[in-house]
A and B are shown apart, each in its own frame.
Chain A
Amino acid sequence: MIEVETDILVVGGGAAGMSAALAASSYSGATVTLVDNNAKLGGQIWRAELGKSKSAEARSFIKAIETKRIRIFNDAQVFAAPTNTSVLAETSRGTARFEYNKLILATGARERFLPFPGWTLPGVFGAGGLQALVKGGFDVAGKRIVVAGSGPLLLVVAEYLKSKGAKVIAVAEQAPASRINRFAIGLWRSPAKLAQALWLRMKLFGVSYLTDTWVTDVRSLGSGRSNGPIIVTFNRHGKKWQVEGDYLACGFDLVPNNELASLIGCKIENSFVSVDEFQRTTCENVFCAGEPTGIGGVAASLVEGTIAGLCSVDATDAARMSFATRDRSQRFAAQLTRTFALRDELRSLANDNTIVCRCEDVDFGRLREFDSWRAAKLQTRCGMGPCQGRICGAAAQFLFDWKIGPARPPIFPIKLENL
């Protein structure tokens, strides 16, 4: 077993984790260690493209991290927290035990997926999911792609796919036009320059952005393993129509990766990790920053990471200087949440034969016999496959209003010899 001792341990190498590690090492002589489950730093928003980071901001963070004396463990998946001062991670060289004085959780978010007939077909990806695959070298030039679901990520993805030569047939956003328009107007007054620029570019590109619109059904015209065309059915104000395309990229905003926080015993409310103004969780010496505390995007992640990093080395006065910036980012985040709230109709897209738990192939009809996540798990194995409920849990929470969790070790499946 690899043994690592560190003053500060940061879990997650995205925007929040990198800014936390940098802040902690800049304001003290503390040893700082960063553990991340990806091959490269940057997390999801700054995911590298063919191994190289395209964002100048991301590159400057990565460079700064590398010039500090921060120990970095890439491709390391934290799976357990055996004591309240240690976590275990699976690495390519076996299991590593990290002993820490202070722990900063910056575990990010994943997409929320909602089941509808056909959502399990090959060629149906997450929205951010497809973007990640394209960043990994998937060639979509000339492909006809429908982008659907909800949230500002859809615009980012559509713009990205278009820049890679894909033909984006439409962007279908479930939120109503009234709310989207109010949000778009608000952007002119907000500091969210990125969102503003994206909005403009979408208009310039002439991609049709449909509000009040969602996908009700997908069928495949292909067979076997090869990718045939798909037929996507849209619904808008009760009017239904179909389009043919090659791929569907569909995701319904983001949900926090709160499993490690849950395992450690941090208080979690409405899926989000509770923190005080110093980004402290309810567990002693454990901080949390970024999406697990509330979906706020990269700006909120950066400032929360800075505050968590500073507070972890007791530089609370320096941290206070960032409170105003954090408040602004969080106000913007709250506006986003209101704008892209999920509509009730999305709860009735699945029929009894629609798979909800993709790992164990448990369908909607089976699940609706139960009145809790726990009962459904015990009786159907829903949420007990390799993803451990990361996909179906968020869906079940929305569909049935079930409370999901708490997490149990190992929070990721690992090789038997590494246990």
Chain B
Amino acid sequence: MVNITVNKNSVTVAPGTTVAAAILNSGLAGFRRSTGREMRGPLCGMGICFECRVTIDGINHQRSCTVMAEDGMEIEISD
């Protein structure tokens, strides 16, 4: 299994799980705020819409649906 943290909370997922799926499995559906401060979550699931952007290991604006979760990854969803 793969262990990551989402806003410091630990989440365990199966190998091959995307970061987006891991966040959703942790019970969170809102991934980011839009320019108008609306809550948004993943839409297209294939790296096109950019709605699932989060900070992964300190690098912001990562499309979480295109990144595989890896042991020790730190995911941050800013407010």
Contact of A244 with B by CB under 8 A: no
Measured between alpha carbons, how far is A50 from B16 in the docked complex, in Å? 4
Measured between alpha carbons, how far is A121 from B51 in the docked complex, in Å? 11
Contact of A225 with B by CB under 8 A: yes
Query: CB-defined interface of A98-119 with B at 8 Å, one 1/0 digit per residue?
Result: 0000000000001101000000
Contact B50 A227 (CB under 8 A): no
Measured between alpha carbons, how far is A297 from B42 in the docked complex, in Å? 24
Contact B44 A129 (CB under 8 A): yes
A224-256 residues with Cβ-Cβ distance < 8 A to B are 224-227
Query: CB-defined interface of B14-39 with A at 8 Å, one 1/0 digit per residue?
Result: 11111011101101111100111011
Q: Which residue in chain A gives the minimum CB-CB distance to B38? A: A120
- Chain A nearest Cβ from B63, distance in angstroms: 9
Contact B44 A126 (CB under 8 A): yes
Contact B30 A138 (CB under 8 A): no
Give B contacts to A, CB under 8 Å: 13-18, 20-22, 24-25, 27-31, 34-36, 38-51, 53, 61, 65-66, 68-69, 77
Chain B residues closer than 8 Å to A50, beta-carbon distance: 14-17
Say what secondary structure dominates the interface of chain A: loop
Measured between alpha carbons, how far is A296 from B16 in the docked complex, in Å? 30
Query: Which of the residues B25, B31, B34, B43 comes within 8 Å of A138, measured between beta carbons?
Result: B25
| 24 A-B pairs (CB sep. < 8 Å) | A39-B68, A113-B43, A120-B38, A120-B40, A122-B31, A123-B29, A123-B41, A128-B46, A133-B21, A136-B21, A136-B65, A137-B16, A137-B21, A138-B20, A138-B21, A138-B25, A226-B28, A358-B49, A359-B50, A361-B34, A385-B50, A386-B53, A391-B43, A391-B48
Contact A225 B48 (CB under 8 A): no
Contact B17 A126 (CB under 8 A): no
- Chain B nearest Cβ from A164, distance in angstroms: 12
Contact B45 A136 (CB under 8 A): yes
Measured between alpha carbons, how far is A139 from B16 in the docked complex, in Å? 13
Chain A residues closer than 8 Å to B35, beta-carbon distance: 359-361, 385
Contact B49 A44 (CB under 8 A): no
Chain B residues closer than 8 Å to A391, beta-carbon distance: 43-44, 48-49
Contact B18 A386 (CB under 8 A): no
Which of B22, B53, B68 has the most chain A CB within a 10 Å cutoff? Answer: B68
Measured between alpha carbons, how far is A130 from B53 in the docked complex, in Å? 16
Chain A residues closer than 8 Å to B51, beta-carbon distance: 358
A373-419 residues with Cβ-Cβ distance < 8 A to B are 385-387, 390-391, 413
Chain A residues closer than 8 Å to B29, beta-carbon distance: 122-123, 222, 225-227
Contact A122 B20 (CB under 8 A): no
Measured between alpha carbons, how far is A130 from B27 in the docked complex, in Å? 15
Chain A residues closer than 8 Å to B27, beta-carbon distance: 226-227
Contact of A191 with B by CB under 8 A: no
Chain B residues closer than 8 Å to A48, beta-carbon distance: 16
